[in-house]
Amino acid sequence: MCEKRFRQAQHHRLSAIHAIPKGLLALLVVIFFHLSSVSAQAQVTAQVTAIDENGYGRIIFRFAKLPPYRARISDGVLIISFEEAISLKLDQFMVPLKEYFTIGRVDPDGKSIRFALSRDLRLNTIEAGDRLFIDILPEPWVGLLPGLPQKIIDEISARNRKEDEEKRKLARREAFKNSKNILKIRVGEYPTFSRLMFDWDKKLASRLAAMARFSTFSLTS
């Protein structure tokens, strides 16, 4: 009897599925896979480092691109929130910074981390390119706030110089494309050799590549 009822119920479920129009069924399948894809892509990957510095704690997040965030202390709890979910392990924070935190948890949506502080502490945040530095400082803190490590400063400076150089190269290329370029070629014949003279009205870099049977001459802005 139970087996018969099970088969009847299974038959009714299959009939219900077949009753759904094919177009609607295909749309539901597309929506399901789209939502699954969005859910998988919504999580942000971050490298996390927690350090017990000389007299204060430091958390370093490194992203492919720094997302919008908010860090604050409220009622003895440090709250770090992001607009998107981030995959984290609490051990990354609790073990190195056990002097500052008593307990921690990640919100169910994965967008916020909360730490109960062991005593009165103050907060200092520094953005550095794709990194976010969050410092936990004792109260009262005397002197200047902690800054960035020299290695990070040098790295950011080098990156900025490279980006500025790329922008200048792009600007020169665009200016060269939009200008009227004049290239004069003169040929000289001598008893033992021939000479080509290239004369142009812009400051350009030139390159001559000599091959076995021919040579290539190129100009770049």
- The ranges assigned to domains in the chain are 46-148, 183-220
Provide the edge-to-edge strand list for the sheet that holds 101-106.
69-74, 77-82, 112-117, 101-106
Q: Find the mean pLDDT for residues 170-183.
A: 74
Looking up tokens 């009622």 gives: 75
- The rounded distance, in Å, linking the Cα atoms of 157 and 50 is 24
Which range is least confidently modeled, 129-143, 165-179, 205-219? Answer: 205-219
Q: Which residues contact 9 (CB under 8 A, 6 or more apart)?
A: none
Q: Locate 153 and state its tokens.
A: 């400063």
Kindly give the pairing relationship between strand 205-210 and strand 215-220: antiparallel
Of 17-21, 59-63, 91-95, 173-177, minimum mean pLDDT range: 17-21
Phi, psi of 97 (to 5 degrees): -115, 35
Rounded Cα distance between 134 and 123, Å, is 7
Dist. CA 69–CA 82, nearest whole Å? 4
Residue 194: the pLDDT is 81
**CB neighbour class for 101 (10 Å; exposed up to 12, middle 13-18, buried from 19):** buried
pLDDT of residue 58: 93
Stretch (H or E) spanning 80: strand 77-82
Percent of the chain with pLDDT over 70: 74
Global confidence as pTM: 0.59
Q: To 5 degrees, how large is the angle CA 154–CA 159–CA 164?
A: 125
The phi and psi torsions of 165 (rounded to 5 degrees) equal: -65, -40
Q: Which of 14-18, 60-64, 86-90, 171-175 has the lowest mean pLDDT?
A: 14-18
- Tokens 């139970």, residue? 2
CATH architecture of 46-148: Sandwich (2.60)
Question: pLDDT tens, 89-143?
Answer: 777 788 888 899 998 888 988 899 999 999 999 999 999 888 999 999 998 888 8
State yes or no: pLDDT of 181 exceeds 60: yes
pLDDT of residue 72: 94
